Structure 1
Amino acid sequence: MDVVMSLVLTFLLTLANGYFSMSESALVAAKRAILEHDAEEGDKKAKAALKLASDSGQFLAAIQIAITLVGFFSAMVASTTLSDPLAAWATSLGAPEDICYAAAPSIVTIIVSYVSIVIGELVPKRIALSNAENVSKSVAGFLTTFSKVVSPLVWLTSASAAGLAKLLGIKSADDRQDVSEDEIRYLVTDSDDLTDAEKNMIHDVIDLGDTIAREVMVPRVDMTAVEDVQTCSEVLAIMRRTGYSRIPVYHGDVDRIVGIAHIKDLIGAILDEDAAEDPVGTLAREADFVPDTKDIIPLLSEMKSSHDQMVIVVDEYGGTAGVITVEDIVEEIVGEIEDEFDPDNKYLTQLSEREWLVDGRFSIDDAIELGWPIEDSEEFETIAGFVLDQADSLPEPGEVITMDGYKFRVQSVRGRRIAMLRVTAPEQVSDEDKSEGSDASDKDHSGDEESSSDSGKTKRSHHGSDKDA
């Protein structure tokens, strides 16, 4: 074989190596959703690419065999047919003959390897990654045929690899543990294809797996419930005032829930004048009860199957702990769902740039997002719970909890819970003020020591003049 033919053959083998490398990268990087869309539109090439991607083990093994064989033959052809001409050329230039013939095969191999890396690997992979879906569709037909042709060799090599791995005690891919929750979180956070809202929603879906009914329910103290002896017209008026379409019905006390009143049934009763003054207990539908430790995902599935929009949550003693609706669960994923009856910002009213009026039920997660100095804790879920945790007892109206300059003042207490708070943020210190403060600190070092000893600590104080606030 002359030199020209050897060079041409080596170059063609390098191009073949590049083709298989490009095919592998494209099929791995192609977005399945785009291929599925094209396949639904009738694109046969997209269907072929999807079929290959669904059995990635088969086509990846076939491509690996092809790349290995092409690389082997490329190096063999180059070293056996180009080494002697290269050595003869170097000798004609005056180089020692024995050294030239000894070094020529290595030099040829290095040159061929360099060309193979650039033309056979790097450039093709860049082409594939820049337009993965179109490249996948272009190569799918040939790769399907090629995979079938080399399938016996693929089976032989796969069986040999599996046997050797078993001898070495290496687990197969099927035996490996599924991707962990932390890995999913990392992939979602690191993704450039998702918006912040989509990332937050995915994180909320993951968190839902660790959420129980007690964390989502409307607690007993905030429930709207009616007694079974109240008339249908009275209960309908309550529904109009609260905006609820379903209300639990109890007998005697809230721990004895006998059913759920539906607005549709009550409207029917009102239209029938004779039934308008009937006790609501006669129309209450049967209620389902769930323990407060029930996992949310199975609960949502059960509510969907039974067509329940509301269930009653009970504690370990059988008493009513609260109620939970499908909307409550969905809001854990997509955030607060406001309907035409919901007031805007019902738990938070901003009074000024540094001051807010806050309902005690305002969630800790939302407070943290506002930058308030509160650490997430399993001990409490609301701003009222945080204040109670810091105070160690039920504070009176006017009492203030101070943390990192933020003041949490109790505005009102309802029963044994904090109803409203006023939160005040510290003033922002300008650079000029900081400079002046630094000068002052040099003059009064002892004052700084006293101040620094209190920074970051929680203080509890009582302001009698604020009781009527």
Structure 2
Amino acid sequence: MSDDIPLGLLLTLLLVLICLSAFFSSSETGMMSINRYRLSHQANSGERAAKRVLRLLSRPDRLIGVILIGNNFVNNLAASIATIIAIHFFGDVSGPAIATAALTIVILIFAEVTPKTFAAVKPERIAYPASVALEPLLKLFYPFVWLVNAISNGLLRLLGIRDIDGSADNLTRDELRTVVHEAGTMIPRRHQTMLLSILDLENVTVNDIMVPRQEIAGIDLDDDLETILAQIRSSQHTRVPVYKGDINNIIGILHLRNAARFLSKPEVTKAAIVQEAREPYFIPESTPLHTQLLNFQQHKRRIGIVVDEYGDVEGLATLEDILEEIVGEFTTDEAATHREIHPQDDGSYIIEGTTNIRDINKVLAWQLPTDGPKTLNGLILEHLEAFPDAPACLQLGAIRMEILQIKDNLITSARCWQSARRARALG
């Protein structure tokens, strides 16, 4: 019967089958390689091709089933036709062997490697047009696809794989961080920094960004009235805490905008100051920044007093402090921003002991540990495991430190620099 079929028709049919094999192979790679998040964005924007591809990818088992059914069918049919052609030219003995070898090479080059490589590089150019044919093919061969998938999914369940729904493809926080890093020029560098800072809010607590209690500029009602008024008039802060005798005895938060109400009166009393102060808002020191940001919004507050588990005041945190963790410093006064870090001519830095370690890392692009003590003084004492009797030197990773001044059981200043060998390695 094969002798009745024209040789030209067989060759044409073989060429068509090789092209169909290339179509199915490239479709499989293109569908599996396409960027799911760009696809979802385009589908949400109303692009019909993206919606069609998204529908097919919602059940990858059915998609792969129809592709492989088509691919195996055309490959097997191509092998049969190639064998008939080879027998025609080379006889019954050597014809099948020659057909197998020749067709393997042709399929490998023209129907596998080349189309799959192209689809991997340009998945959208393959997946979108291929979906036009694959969707009706899936409906046409659905009973056969369903049967094959039922057997295949049963075997997968024996291997412990039960969820084959392609819609649950979510990114973890670390994976999202990688996506932002690899965005390159598609996302401006400053925007990348802001996005990464937002992801870090959950890992940072309010005691990491608070103003320590010893640096809080508050109004002590035990001071004389003239001192208090002079402090109010010269304050650089919009809101200041009001306390009596000790910072742990906070009465309220005074907004200096409201100070005009009693400053304009002929007789100013401490009672008038207290009356204008709003009740204090307290924050547990372990509150993550992303939670506190929502709490500030919910309670309509911009400043909170940070307390420890015993209720003692640890510091003060503001809405601006949290926003600066995302967008960077608001102030344009470099001296104010880096007032605790003093660069030296030899490349080292004299840093005050009360400086927050996270501020040091941000300003100098260092990587001092932040999972323990919050200040440079605490970090040095933890490393030494004792209070030094005299100035000493130490090294933490790539950073060398020289204690310069000790006062009242506090390391008040230290000279810090990056060791040359580690700096070259990092560079």
Asked if Structure 1 and Structure 2 have the same fold, meaning a TM-score greater than 0.5 normalized by the shorter chain, the answer is: yes
Choose from 247, 250, 253 the match for 1:257: 250
- CA separation in 2, counterparts of 1:246 and 1:399? 39
1:321 CA drift (Å):
1.4
Counterpart secondary structure, 1:352:
coil
For residue 452 of structure 1, what is the aligned residue in structure 2? Answer: none
Amino acid corresponding to residue 273 of structure 1 in structure 2:
K
In the TM superposition, what are the counterparts of 1:31-430 in structure 2 within 5 Å? 31=35, 46-50=47-51, 52-53=53-54, 56-58=57-59, 60-91=60-91, 99-100=93-94, 104=96, 106-133=97-124, 135-173=126-164, 204-227=197-220, 238=231, 241=234, 243-267=236-260, 269-270=262-263, 272-273=264-265, 279-338=272-331, 343-364=336-357, 367=360, 370=364, 376=369, 378-393=371-386, 399-403=391-395, 406-411=400-405, 413=407, 416-423=409-416
Q: In 1, are the aligned partners of 2:25 and 2:115 still within 8 Å (CA)?
A: yes
Question: Per-residue displacement from partner, 1:377-408 (whole Å, max 9, x unpaired)?
Answer: 63323322223334545558x83434489452
- CA separation in 1, counterparts of 2:410 and 2:90? 95
Question: Per-residue displacement from partner, 1:56-97 (whole Å, max 9, x unpaired)?
Answer: 233x44542343233223233233233133134224xxxxx5
- CA separation in 1, counterparts of 2:400 and 2:190? 29
Question: Per-residue displacement from partner, 1:281-322 (whole Å, max 9, x unpaired)?
Answer: 211222222222223332222222222222222111111111
Amino acid corresponding to residue 213 of structure 2 in structure 1:
R
Amino acid corresponding to residue 215 of structure 2 in structure 1:
D
Greater mean alpha carbon deviation, residues 349-358 or residues 158-167:
158-167
Q: Which runs of 5+ in 2 are unaligned?
A: 422-427
- CA separation in 2, counterparts of 1:367 and 1:354? 15
- CA separation in 2, counterparts of 1:30 and 1:276? 71
User: Cα distance 1:344–1:256, how it changes in 2: closer, same or farther (>3 A)?
Assistant: closer
Counterpart secondary structure, 1:19:
helix
Question: Per-residue displacement from partner, 1:17-65 (whole Å, max 9, x unpaired)?
Answer: 3334444444554456766776677xx5x2431453366233x445423
Amino acid corresponding to residue 166 of structure 1 in structure 2:
R
- CA separation in 1, counterparts of 2:84 and 2:126? 40
CA RMSD of aligned residues (A): 4.2
Counterpart secondary structure, 2:336:
coil
Q: In 2, are the aligned partners of 1:350 and 1:356 still within 8 Å (CA)?
A: yes
Give the share of equivalent positions with the same residue, in percent. 24
Matched positions, count = 411
User: Cα distance 1:416–1:311, how it changes in 2: closer, same or farther (>3 A)?
Assistant: farther
Q: In 2, are the aligned partners of 1:312 and 1:323 still within 8 Å (CA)?
A: yes
Q: In 2, are the aligned partners of 1:359 and 1:419 still within 8 Å (CA)?
A: yes
Question: Per-residue displacement from partner, 1:231-256 (whole Å, max 9, x unpaired)?
Answer: 99976864675532222222332112
For residue 19 of structure 1, what is the aligned residue in structure 2? Answer: 23
Counterpart secondary structure, 1:172:
coil
Q: In 2, are the aligned partners of 1:27 and 1:49 still within 8 Å (CA)?
A: no
Amino acid corresponding to residue 163 of structure 2 in structure 1:
S
Greater mean alpha carbon deviation, residues 239-248 or residues 186-195:
186-195
For residue 424 of structure 2, what is the aligned residue in structure 1? Answer: none
Q: In 2, are the aligned partners of 1:20 and 1:63 still within 8 Å (CA)?
A: no
Q: In 2, are the aligned partners of 1:162 and 1:172 still within 8 Å (CA)?
A: no
Q: In 2, are the aligned partners of 1:362 and 1:382 still within 8 Å (CA)?
A: yes
- CA separation in 2, counterparts of 1:54 and 1:361? 58
Q: In 1, are the aligned partners of 2:221 and 2:228 still within 8 Å (CA)?
A: no
Choose from 4, 10, 14 the match for 2:14: 10
Q: In 1, are the aligned partners of 2:31 and 2:127 still within 8 Å (CA)?
A: yes
Amino acid corresponding to residue 255 of structure 1 in structure 2:
N
Amino acid corresponding to residue 218 of structure 1 in structure 2:
V
Counterpart secondary structure, 2:371:
coil
1:341 CA drift (Å):
9.5
- CA separation in 2, counterparts of 1:157 and 1:338? 65
1:221 CA drift (Å):
1.8
1:352 CA drift (Å):
0.9
Q: In 1, are the aligned partners of 2:254 and 2:277 still within 8 Å (CA)?
A: yes
- CA separation in 1, counterparts of 2:15 and 2:114? 15
Question: Per-residue displacement from partner, 1:169-191 (whole Å, max 9, x unpaired)?
Answer: 33425699976665556666666
